[in-house]
Structure 1
Amino acid sequence: MCGNRFELSSSAGLVRPVRVLLVSPGFHGYHSAIAGALTERGHVVSTHLYDDHGGLAGRTWHQVRHQLPRRLGAGSLRRLARDETAGAVAAVGRSRPQAVVVVKGDTLGQEFWDRIAGLPRVTWLYDEVRRTRWSLDRLAGVGPVATYSAHDTAAFASAGLDARHLPLAFDHRLVPSPTQRRTGDVSFIGARYPAREDVLTGLHAQRVPIRAYGRDWSAHPVDRLRTWRVGSPEVPAERDVSRAGAYDVMAASAATLNLHGDQDGFTMRTFEAAGVGAVQLIDRPDVAGLYDPGTEVLTWNGTDELLDLCRRAVADAAWADAIRAAARSRTLAEHTFDHRVAVLEGAWDTV
């Protein structure tokens, strides 16, 4: 960080193009954004999704082999880790990479890390390490690490790891639909946790046109079954949306909520909402290291302040449009996956 602006490392210029193996979970398709950014910088990219279970038949087998036994108290993560490790090792053999980018990778066993030993590589964590299966001892043996968590960056450095702070990003190649019309809603897209439910139900009670998206909020019978519940919260809600659909929803909303909770890193939504030109209502005043509060994003402290911002976003289109434009401009200038991949290149180049 430099002042209040995130700066690229000195490796922002193109490095020599190489064959890159991207090893990633399938989480919301973010691997495609990283692969696109690597390709844009001249690399030949192969992608292996280590938790991809191969279509309907594969997902069904995964449920029977792993998920159901675990729910019944008879399963083990070790078997799943062995399967995912074997798949990742095979991907290394197929792609013959000259550099490897691993996203999260906490379920991959030592056989995989031994297989890529000596190759330029970097591992990018999009969650706090305490939420993963990583330990500092394990991370010490995998090579350079990038993390979205500033707190973890400091802890890693204190432990002697080759670590750098790397925030998440916006996929500018996945753009909102040009025909999307403004809805007038205040949207929220994400999982339902108690603190988030309190915020949304409070806004709904004050007649804010709030609308939530996701299986945890939806009253659809299939979603209630998938989330093991009978009822639904008192908030207007829709079913899950794709990442592209989420971009459309945020761009079309009068404003969109970004609720973090117990996190010190900034979610992908921080950059996506700004990148699509949404009016982002974020619960983190420390976002000032990335965006300018009041002109590019809107921070709030307490229900009354949030309520006032929601009502103004719905009623004052000129004010909202200025925030939308500023947020999108800042994001495209500093916070795309292309910017982040330049830093990852600098990390693997040090191996």
Structure 2
Amino acid sequence: MNLKSSVMERKWFMAKQEKLLIISPAFHGYCYSIADGFKELGYETVIHRYDAFDGASAKIRNKVQYELPSKIGFDGQKAAEKHATAVAIAKLNEVRPDKLIVIKADTLGDGFWERVKRLNIPYMLWLYDDLKRHRYSIDFLKQLPVVLSYARSEAEEFSNAGINAYFAPNGYDPKLADPPSHRTQEIVFVGSRYENRVEMMLHLQDAGIPVRVYGRGWSHHPYDRLRMWEWNRPNLPAERDVPLKEAYQIQAGAAGAINIHGLQAGLAMRTFEVPGMNGLQLIDRPDVEEFYDVGKEVLLYQSNDELVELCQRVISDPQWSESIREAGRKRSLAEHTFFHRAQKMDRLWV
């Protein structure tokens, strides 16, 4: 597309001024970046985080009313979901959007979806995690006008089952943070703690690679241990949870940032965040080649020993590492922002 046609397309989008409501989990604030992508298309965007508890008093109330009763045998979760459903319905009634994007939202009750249908507006459901981690059934998804999956394989399975499904890969927000001006010599991982991730990071540490992990599941802080209802933690250099903006910069400022997936169908957000921020990504998924040139824009590993070798070279050969960073950022800015994702999604309304 040439510059003139691109500008004309942007002006056409900006003339719409439709109100778009995004109902999303609070998870790391991704909803704000997604909404910003649609703002660039000219939408007036409104966000409702259905599982958010803003402020100290709300968080304490959630612990007392819902989490603690669940720990001692009462169904606090059911009460929390009933409340979240009522609040989401109220938001629909308040905003009266022209269009609606629902992200995940499988803890919202039937009353929410009944209200959505009565609005009689275009809407879509976006699953940026595997269906097996949701409560939705195939029969339910068949009733929806548009279903988006972050995994190409799952979108194809949905289509074969009679669902109007499309592939919508994750992306990143170039406006969220500037690339850092300095770097460490550490290999970092930012994210949840799972057994395969613990094993991998310990293997790197045992091989003499300087590592650091970030997140409440890794942190040795007493508060993080208590709020996770556990005490034991892996013997690794660890930091507490960090906001998404800081995670962007930590991963980019490290010698290398690891992207390990485990048993999931699609590629994680960090697949695009790390190279987008001028970071060096070490990823475990060969299908990343759909988005990046392996060996030139990202690095692929398929065993812990192979990862050790790559990390050693990343640290010892900064000129080579820098060439990968620059190429990965260039590709990300050109193809993998949330604005690029919003453009494609905007063509799918029914």
TM-score by length of structure 2 reads 0.92
Structure 2: state its 5+ residue gaps: 1-8
**Is the partner of 1:122 in helix, strand or coil?**
strand
- 5 Å-filtered alignment, 1:277-288, equals 277-288=278-289
| Cα distance between partner residues in 2 of 1:151 and 1:71 | 37
String of CA shifts for 1:79-117, please: whole Å, max 9, x gaps.
222211111111111111110011111112222222222
**Is the partner of 1:116 in helix, strand or coil?**
helix
- What's the offset of the Cα at 1:318? 0.7
Alignment partner, residue 255 of structure 2 = 254
Q: 1:127 aligns with which of 121, 126, 129?
A: 129
Is 2:48–2:88's contact at 8 Å kept on the other side of the alignment? Answer: yes
Alignment partner, residue 35 of structure 1 = 35
Structure 1 runs of 4+ with >6 Å offset = none
Alignment partner, residue 62 of structure 1 = 62
| Cα distance between partner residues in 2 of 1:173 and 1:80 | 34
2:207 aligned with 1:167: no
- What's the offset of the Cα at 1:235? 1.4
| Cα distance between partner residues in 2 of 1:262 and 1:285 | 14
- What's the offset of the Cα at 1:73? 2.2
- 5 Å-filtered alignment, 1:43-62, equals 43-62=43-62
String of CA shifts for 1:286-319, please: whole Å, max 9, x gaps.
2111111100110012122111110111111110
Alignment partner, residue 4 of structure 2 = none
**Is the partner of 2:257 in helix, strand or coil?**
strand
- What's the offset of the Cα at 1:120? 0.8
Alignment partner, residue 206 of structure 2 = 205
Give the total of aligned pairs: 338
| Cα distance between partner residues in 1 of 2:224 and 2:62 | 20
| Cα distance between partner residues in 1 of 2:225 and 2:27 | 21
Letter in 1 for 2:187: V
Q: 1:81 to 1:227 in 2, by over 3 A?
A: closer
| Cα distance between partner residues in 2 of 1:122 and 1:116 | 10
Letter in 1 for 2:147: V
**Is the partner of 1:217 in helix, strand or coil?**
coil
- 5 Å-filtered alignment, 1:14-29, equals 14=13, 16-29=16-29
| Cα distance between partner residues in 2 of 1:58 and 1:138 | 32
- 5 Å-filtered alignment, 1:56-205, equals 56-75=56-75, 77-117=77-117, 118-176=120-178, 178=180, 180-205=181-206
- 5 Å-filtered alignment, 1:214-233, equals 214-233=215-234
Which fold has the larger relative contact order, with Cα–Cα distance below 8 Å and residues 6 or more apart in sequence?
1
| Cα distance between partner residues in 1 of 2:273 and 2:164 | 28
**Is the partner of 1:270 in helix, strand or coil?**
helix
Letter in 2 for 1:337: F
| Cα distance between partner residues in 1 of 2:151 and 2:96 | 31
String of CA shifts for 1:262-303, please: whole Å, max 9, x gaps.
111000011101111111000111211111110011001212
- What's the offset of the Cα at 1:209? 0.6
Structure 1: state its 5+ residue gaps: 1-10
Q: 1:85 to 1:157 in 2, by over 3 A?
A: same
**Is the partner of 2:125 in helix, strand or coil?**
strand
Is 1:67–1:75's contact at 8 Å kept on the other side of the alignment? Answer: no
String of CA shifts for 1:244-263, please: whole Å, max 9, x gaps.
11111111101010010011
**Is the partner of 1:346 in helix, strand or coil?**
coil
Letter in 2 for 1:33: S
- What's the offset of the Cα at 1:132? 1.0
Alignment partner, residue 331 of structure 1 = 332
- What's the offset of the Cα at 1:17? 3.2
Q: 1:228 to 1:77 in 2, by over 3 A?
A: closer
| Cα distance between partner residues in 2 of 1:221 and 1:51 | 25
| Cα distance between partner residues in 2 of 1:177 and 1:289 | 24
**Backbone CA RMSD of aligned residues:** 1.7
String of CA shifts for 1:153-173, please: whole Å, max 9, x gaps.
122112211100111001111
Is 1:50–1:84's contact at 8 Å kept on the other side of the alignment? Answer: yes
Q: 1:54 to 1:223 in 2, by over 3 A?
A: closer
- What's the offset of the Cα at 1:177? 5.5
**Is the partner of 1:107 in helix, strand or coil?**
coil
| Cα distance between partner residues in 1 of 2:225 and 2:114 | 43
| Cα distance between partner residues in 1 of 2:228 and 2:97 | 40
Letter in 1 for 2:86: A
Of 24-33 and 216-225, the range deviating more from structure 2: 216-225
| Cα distance between partner residues in 2 of 1:177 and 1:277 | 6
String of CA shifts for 1:16-37, please: whole Å, max 9, x gaps.
3311111111110001101111
| Cα distance between partner residues in 1 of 2:140 and 2:52 | 24
